[in-house]
Amino acid sequence: MTHQRDQDRFHFIRPENVEWRPFPAFPPEARLAVLVGDPSQAGPYVIRVKLPAGVRMAPHRHPEDRLYTVISGVFHIGLGERFDPDSLQAFGPGSVVVLPGGQSHFHWAKDGEYVTQVTALGPLGLDYVEARDDPRRGQAGAT
């Protein structure tokens, strides 16, 4: 039998063992944790995203379809190519948000820190609607 990356053996990840790291495409305060797979490669992956209170993710899009599961806090997400706080929808723990690839959207940790879990098929992509919003801008090798 052929298994997917990180799925060839029984194992588990407890919350206290999640390794949070900065991610160049996120605002500096945000964190990403890879739980299963390799988001830079083709194939399934599971990641978690943590935004501290008050942090915003400017309008952006991903080429891959994504399933967001809210783990903690309130996930505020809006659709469109400009940040519009009036169009945000709030999702609490246990909520699942289906985001088709290519859909422009934005997030805001409006009510405090939140953690979402993202399940998708890689490779992970993230393109900001406005290049000036991309934290990678100005870094060597940024695209």
**pLDDT tens, the chain, 143 aa long:** 888 888 899 999 999 999 999 999 999 999 999 999 999 999 999 999 999 999 999 999 999 999 999 999 999 999 999 999 999 999 999 999 999 999 999 999 999 999 999 999 999 999 999 999 999 986 644 43
d(CA 35, CA 39): 10
DSSP 8-state symbol, 87:
G
Q: What pairs with residue 139 in β-bridges?
A: none
Which two tokens mark 47?
A: 């990641």
Question: Would you state the pLDDT for residue 139?
Answer: 61
pLDDT at position 1, please?
83
pLDDT, residue 3, reads 87
Contacts 24+ apart (CB under 8 A), 22-28: 24/135, 24/136, 24/139, 24/142, 25/126, 25/134, 25/135, 25/136, 26/57, 26/135, 27/51, 27/55, 27/56, 27/57, 27/135, 28/135
CA distances from 122 to 37, 52, 65, 126 (A): 9, 25, 9, 11
Strand partners, 78: 106
Question: Is the alpha carbon torsion for 67, 20, 28, 142 positive or negative?
Answer: negative
pLDDT of residue 5: 83
Stated pTM of the model: 0.92
pLDDT at site 18: 97
Question: CA 61, 27, 35: angle at the middle one, nearest 5?
Answer: 75
